Protein backbone atom coordinates (compact mmCIF):
# COMPACT_ATOMS: atom_id res chain seq x y z
CA UNK A 1 0.00 0.00 0.00
CA UNK A 2 1.35 3.42 -0.94
CA UNK A 3 2.08 5.82 1.87
CA UNK A 4 -0.29 8.75 2.16
CA UNK A 5 1.17 12.16 1.42
CA UNK A 6 1.44 14.80 4.13
CA UNK A 7 -1.28 16.87 2.48
CA UNK A 8 -3.68 13.91 2.40
CA UNK A 9 -2.94 13.11 6.05
CA UNK A 10 -3.52 16.74 6.99
CA UNK A 11 -6.83 16.69 5.13
CA UNK A 12 -7.89 13.48 6.90
CA UNK A 13 -6.99 14.93 10.29
CA UNK A 14 -9.03 18.03 9.52
CA UNK A 15 -11.98 15.91 8.39
CA UNK A 16 -11.87 13.90 11.61
CA UNK A 17 -11.72 17.11 13.64
CA UNK A 18 -14.74 18.62 11.90
CA UNK A 19 -17.56 18.84 14.43
CA UNK A 20 -20.97 17.38 13.63
CA UNK A 21 -23.14 20.44 14.13
CA UNK A 22 -26.30 18.92 12.68
CA UNK A 23 -28.16 19.04 15.99
CA UNK A 24 -26.96 22.48 17.02
CA UNK A 25 -27.70 26.07 16.10
CA UNK A 26 -24.26 26.51 14.50
CA UNK A 27 -22.92 26.33 10.93
CA UNK A 28 -19.25 25.52 10.38
CA UNK A 29 -17.15 28.16 8.57
CA UNK A 30 -13.55 27.14 9.23
CA UNK A 31 -10.95 26.11 11.77
CA UNK A 32 -9.32 28.81 13.88
CA UNK A 33 -6.74 26.73 15.73
CA UNK A 34 -5.86 23.54 17.51
CA UNK A 35 -4.26 22.95 20.89
CA UNK A 36 -3.70 20.27 23.48
CA UNK A 37 -7.09 20.97 25.07
CA UNK A 38 -9.21 20.94 21.91
CA UNK A 39 -9.90 22.48 18.50
CA UNK A 40 -11.42 25.91 17.95
CA UNK A 41 -13.70 26.49 14.97
CA UNK A 42 -15.23 29.60 13.46
CA UNK A 43 -18.99 29.06 13.20
CA UNK A 44 -22.13 31.08 12.56
CA UNK A 45 -24.78 31.22 15.23
CA UNK A 46 -27.93 30.82 13.11
CA UNK A 47 -30.23 32.08 15.87
CA UNK A 48 -28.43 35.35 16.46
CA UNK A 49 -26.79 35.60 13.00
CA UNK A 50 -23.28 36.24 14.26
CA UNK A 51 -19.90 34.56 14.08
CA UNK A 52 -18.57 32.93 17.26
CA UNK A 53 -15.65 30.73 18.21
CA UNK A 54 -16.70 27.18 19.02
CA UNK A 55 -14.28 25.00 20.97
CA UNK A 56 -14.67 21.22 20.80
CA UNK A 57 -13.09 19.23 23.64
CA UNK A 58 -13.05 15.68 24.94
CA UNK A 59 -15.40 14.94 27.82
CA UNK A 60 -12.56 15.00 30.39
CA UNK A 61 -11.90 18.64 29.46
CA UNK A 62 -15.45 19.75 30.25
CA UNK A 63 -14.24 21.76 33.23
CA UNK A 64 -12.97 24.53 30.95
CA UNK A 65 -16.46 25.58 29.91
CA UNK A 66 -17.71 25.64 33.50
CA UNK A 67 -14.58 27.37 34.79
CA UNK A 68 -14.57 30.04 32.10
CA UNK A 69 -18.32 30.59 32.31
CA UNK A 70 -18.18 31.53 35.99
CA UNK A 71 -15.21 33.89 35.60
CA UNK A 72 -16.74 37.14 34.43
CA UNK A 73 -13.89 39.53 33.70
CA UNK A 74 -13.05 41.76 30.69
CA UNK A 75 -9.79 39.85 30.32
CA UNK A 76 -11.50 36.45 29.98
CA UNK A 77 -13.43 35.51 26.83
CA UNK A 78 -17.13 35.06 27.77
CA UNK A 79 -18.86 31.73 27.12
CA UNK A 80 -22.23 32.04 25.36
CA UNK A 81 -23.37 28.43 25.15
CA UNK A 82 -22.27 24.82 25.68
CA UNK A 83 -23.51 21.35 24.81
CA UNK A 84 -22.68 17.86 23.54
CA UNK A 85 -22.12 16.82 19.92
CA UNK A 86 -23.59 13.56 18.52
CA UNK A 87 -20.15 11.90 18.83
CA UNK A 88 -20.06 12.62 22.57
CA UNK A 89 -17.55 15.45 22.43
CA UNK A 90 -18.38 18.63 24.28
CA UNK A 91 -18.45 22.10 22.80
CA UNK A 92 -18.76 25.60 24.08
CA UNK A 93 -19.32 28.75 22.08
CA UNK A 94 -17.40 31.90 22.95
CA UNK A 95 -17.13 35.43 21.72
CA UNK A 96 -14.85 35.55 18.69
CA UNK A 97 -11.80 37.70 19.38
CA UNK A 98 -9.70 39.01 16.51
CA UNK A 99 -6.13 39.79 17.40
CA UNK A 100 -2.65 38.35 17.82
CA UNK A 101 -0.87 36.37 20.53
CA UNK A 102 1.43 38.18 22.92
CA UNK A 103 4.56 36.57 21.44
CA UNK A 104 3.50 37.76 17.99
CA UNK A 105 2.73 41.23 19.35
CA UNK A 106 6.21 41.35 20.91
CA UNK A 107 7.73 40.58 17.52
CA UNK A 108 5.99 43.60 15.95
CA UNK A 109 8.38 45.80 17.95
CA UNK A 110 6.08 47.78 20.27
CA UNK A 111 7.55 50.30 22.68
CA UNK A 112 9.01 48.63 25.75
CA UNK A 113 6.63 50.48 28.09
CA UNK A 114 3.64 49.44 26.00
CA UNK A 115 4.68 45.78 26.10
CA UNK A 116 4.87 45.97 29.89
CA UNK A 117 1.44 47.62 30.04
CA UNK A 118 -0.01 44.72 28.04
CA UNK A 119 1.64 42.25 30.41
CA UNK A 120 0.18 44.09 33.41
CA UNK A 121 -3.29 43.90 31.90
CA UNK A 122 -2.83 40.16 31.37
CA UNK A 123 -2.07 39.82 35.08
CA UNK A 124 -5.44 41.30 36.04
CA UNK A 125 -7.69 38.36 35.03
CA UNK A 126 -5.23 35.95 36.65
CA UNK A 127 -5.49 37.84 39.94
CA UNK A 128 -9.27 37.85 39.52
CA UNK A 129 -9.31 34.08 38.93
CA UNK A 130 -7.18 33.46 42.03
CA UNK A 131 -9.62 35.53 44.08
CA UNK A 132 -12.38 33.20 42.83
CA UNK A 133 -10.51 30.01 43.62
CA UNK A 134 -9.18 29.16 40.16
CA UNK A 135 -5.59 28.56 38.99
CA UNK A 136 -4.93 28.88 35.23
CA UNK A 137 -2.03 26.37 35.10
CA UNK A 138 -0.95 27.14 31.51
CA UNK A 139 0.08 30.79 31.36
CA UNK A 140 2.47 31.67 28.52
CA UNK A 141 2.70 34.30 25.76
CA UNK A 142 0.78 32.04 23.36
CA UNK A 143 -2.23 32.04 25.72
CA UNK A 144 -2.44 35.83 25.97
CA UNK A 145 -4.06 37.76 23.12
CA UNK A 146 -4.15 41.43 22.23
CA UNK A 147 -7.34 42.28 20.36
CA UNK A 148 -7.67 44.76 17.54
CA UNK A 149 -9.70 47.09 19.79
CA UNK A 150 -7.07 47.12 22.52
CA UNK A 151 -8.37 44.17 24.53
CA UNK A 152 -5.92 41.99 26.42
CA UNK A 153 -7.28 38.50 27.11
CA UNK A 154 -6.01 35.39 28.86
CA UNK A 155 -7.08 32.36 26.83
CA UNK A 156 -7.24 28.57 27.13
CA UNK A 157 -8.49 27.78 30.61
CA UNK A 158 -8.61 24.07 29.74
CA UNK A 159 -5.88 23.24 32.26
CA UNK A 160 -7.42 25.42 34.98
CA UNK A 161 -8.00 23.93 38.41
CA UNK A 162 -9.86 24.83 41.54
CA UNK A 163 -7.61 25.68 44.45
CA UNK A 164 -8.59 22.70 46.61
CA UNK A 165 -7.88 19.44 44.75
CA UNK A 166 -4.53 18.39 43.33
CA UNK A 167 -4.50 16.66 39.98
CA UNK A 168 -2.62 15.63 36.86
CA UNK A 169 0.27 17.61 35.40
CA UNK A 170 -0.81 20.23 32.88
CA UNK A 171 0.77 23.19 31.18
CA UNK A 172 3.76 23.91 28.96
CA UNK A 173 7.16 22.59 30.20
CA UNK A 174 9.15 25.84 29.87
CA UNK A 175 6.51 27.80 31.77
CA UNK A 176 5.32 25.55 34.61
CA UNK A 177 6.61 25.60 38.16
CA UNK A 178 8.40 22.64 39.79
CA UNK A 179 5.50 22.00 42.19
CA UNK A 180 3.07 22.00 39.27
CA UNK A 181 5.21 19.40 37.49
CA UNK A 182 4.84 17.32 40.64
CA UNK A 183 1.05 17.62 40.36
CA UNK A 184 0.53 20.18 43.14
CA UNK A 185 -0.21 23.55 41.51
CA UNK A 186 -1.02 26.58 43.66
CA UNK A 187 -1.60 30.26 42.82
CA UNK A 188 2.18 30.67 43.19
CA UNK A 189 2.53 28.32 40.19
CA UNK A 190 0.72 30.88 38.03
CA UNK A 191 3.08 33.55 39.36
CA UNK A 192 6.02 31.38 38.23
CA UNK A 193 4.47 31.17 34.75
CA UNK A 194 3.93 34.93 34.66
CA UNK A 195 7.60 35.39 35.58
CA UNK A 196 8.67 33.13 32.73
CA UNK A 197 6.34 35.02 30.40
CA UNK A 198 7.89 38.32 31.47
CA UNK A 199 11.37 36.88 30.87
CA UNK A 200 10.28 35.88 27.35
CA UNK A 201 9.06 39.43 26.71
CA UNK A 202 12.09 41.23 28.15
CA UNK A 203 14.70 40.07 25.65
CA UNK A 204 18.38 41.04 25.87
CA UNK A 205 19.64 44.37 27.18
CA UNK A 206 16.83 45.17 29.62
CA UNK A 207 17.56 46.88 32.91
CA UNK A 208 18.61 44.60 35.74
CA UNK A 209 15.71 45.74 37.91
CA UNK A 210 13.19 44.44 35.37
CA UNK A 211 14.96 41.13 34.97
CA UNK A 212 15.09 40.83 38.77
CA UNK A 213 11.28 41.19 38.88
CA UNK A 214 10.87 38.40 36.33
CA UNK A 215 13.37 36.16 38.13
CA UNK A 216 11.74 36.71 41.53
CA UNK A 217 8.36 35.75 40.08
CA UNK A 218 9.90 32.64 38.47
CA UNK A 219 11.98 31.57 41.50
CA UNK A 220 12.34 27.80 41.87
CA UNK A 221 11.36 27.96 45.54
CA UNK A 222 7.72 29.13 45.85
CA UNK A 223 8.61 30.96 49.09
CA UNK A 224 10.99 33.21 47.13
CA UNK A 225 8.30 34.34 44.68
CA UNK A 226 5.89 37.23 45.01
CA UNK A 227 3.13 36.19 47.43
CA UNK A 228 0.39 37.23 45.01
CA UNK A 229 -0.18 38.44 41.47
CA UNK A 230 -1.03 41.86 42.91
CA UNK A 231 2.41 42.05 44.56
CA UNK A 232 4.07 41.26 41.23
CA UNK A 233 1.98 43.94 39.52
CA UNK A 234 2.85 46.52 42.18
CA UNK A 235 6.57 45.92 41.79
CA UNK A 236 6.31 46.15 38.01
CA UNK A 237 4.36 49.42 38.29
CA UNK A 238 7.09 50.79 40.56
CA UNK A 239 9.65 49.90 37.91
CA UNK A 240 7.60 51.61 35.19
CA UNK A 241 7.24 54.72 37.36
CA UNK A 242 10.99 54.92 37.92
CA UNK A 243 10.77 53.94 41.58
CA UNK A 244 12.89 51.37 43.49
CA UNK A 245 11.54 47.82 43.24
CA UNK A 246 11.29 45.15 45.90
CA UNK A 247 13.06 42.53 43.79
CA UNK A 248 16.27 44.47 43.19
CA UNK A 249 18.53 46.14 45.81
CA UNK A 250 20.07 48.64 43.42
CA UNK A 251 23.67 49.89 43.79
CA UNK A 252 24.24 53.56 44.64
CA UNK A 253 25.28 54.57 41.11
CA UNK A 254 22.22 52.91 39.56
CA UNK A 255 20.01 54.60 42.15
CA UNK A 256 21.51 57.98 41.25
CA UNK A 257 21.04 57.32 37.54
CA UNK A 258 17.42 56.27 38.10
CA UNK A 259 16.67 59.40 40.13
CA UNK A 260 18.29 61.61 37.49
CA UNK A 261 16.35 59.89 34.71
CA UNK A 262 13.07 60.17 36.60
CA UNK A 263 13.62 63.87 37.35
CA UNK A 264 15.16 65.00 34.07
CA UNK A 265 13.11 68.18 33.83
CA UNK A 266 13.97 69.29 37.35
CA UNK A 267 17.65 68.45 36.85
CA UNK A 268 17.76 70.44 33.60
CA UNK A 269 16.14 73.43 35.30
CA UNK A 270 18.66 73.31 38.15
CA UNK A 271 21.62 72.95 35.78
CA UNK A 272 20.30 75.80 33.62
CA UNK A 273 19.83 77.99 36.69
CA UNK A 274 23.37 77.28 37.93
CA UNK A 275 24.82 77.93 34.46
CA UNK A 276 22.91 81.24 34.22
CA UNK A 277 24.17 82.33 37.64
CA UNK A 278 27.75 81.50 36.67
CA UNK A 279 27.43 83.48 33.42
CA UNK A 280 25.97 86.46 35.27
CA UNK A 281 28.74 86.30 37.85
CA UNK A 282 31.41 86.24 35.13
CA UNK A 283 29.71 89.08 33.25
CA UNK A 284 29.57 91.26 36.38
CA UNK A 285 33.22 90.58 37.18
CA UNK A 286 34.36 91.88 33.77
pLDDT in tens, 131-163: 999 999 999 999 999 998 889 999 988 778 877
Cα torsion through 268, 270, 271, 272, rounded to 10:
80
- Reported confidence tier of residue 279, pLDDT bands at 50, 70, 90: confident
CATH architecture of 99-240: Orthogonal Bundle (1.10)
Cβ atoms of residues 200 and 103 within 8 Å: yes
pLDDT at residue 17 is higher than 80:
no
User: φ and ψ at 251, to 5 degrees?
Assistant: -65, 165
Q: How many Cα atoms within 13 Å fall on the side-chain side of residue 216? A: 20
Q: What is the pTM of this model?
A: 0.81
The closest of 226, 221, 178 to 198, measured between CA atoms, is 226
pLDDT, average across residues 36-56: 91
Active-site residue, selected from the candidate residues 20, 49, 81, 138: 138
156 counts as catalytic: no
* Phi, then psi, of 145 in degrees rounded to 5: -125, 140
The hierarchical CATH code for the domain 6-95 is 3.30.200.20
Where in 58-107 does DSSP place strands (E)? 79-84, 90-95, 99-101
The pLDDT mean for the chain works out to 85
**CB of 40 within 8 A of CB of 53?**
yes
Q: What percent of the chain has pLDDT over 70?
A: 78
Asked if the model's pLDDT at residue 252 lies above 70, the reply is no
Domain limits of the chain? 6-95, 99-240, 259-285
What are the residues whose beta carbons fall under 8 Å from the beta carbon of 139, sequence distance 6 or more? 126, 154, 175, 190, 193, 194, 197
- The number of residues in the chain equals 286
Tens digits of residue pLDDT in 78-135: 889 988 898 888 898 999 988 999 999 999 999 999 999 999 999 999 999 999 999 9
The answer to whether 138 touches 170, Cβ cutoff 8 Å, is yes
Average pLDDT over residues 198-205: 87
Amino acid sequence: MDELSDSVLAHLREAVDLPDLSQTRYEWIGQLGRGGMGTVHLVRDTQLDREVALKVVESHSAAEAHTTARLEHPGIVPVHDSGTLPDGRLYFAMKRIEGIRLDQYRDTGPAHAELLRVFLRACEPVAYAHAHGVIHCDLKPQNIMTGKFGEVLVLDWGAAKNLDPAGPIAGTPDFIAPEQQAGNPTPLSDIFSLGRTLEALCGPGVRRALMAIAQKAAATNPADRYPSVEALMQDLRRYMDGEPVQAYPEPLLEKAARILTRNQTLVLLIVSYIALRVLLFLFIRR
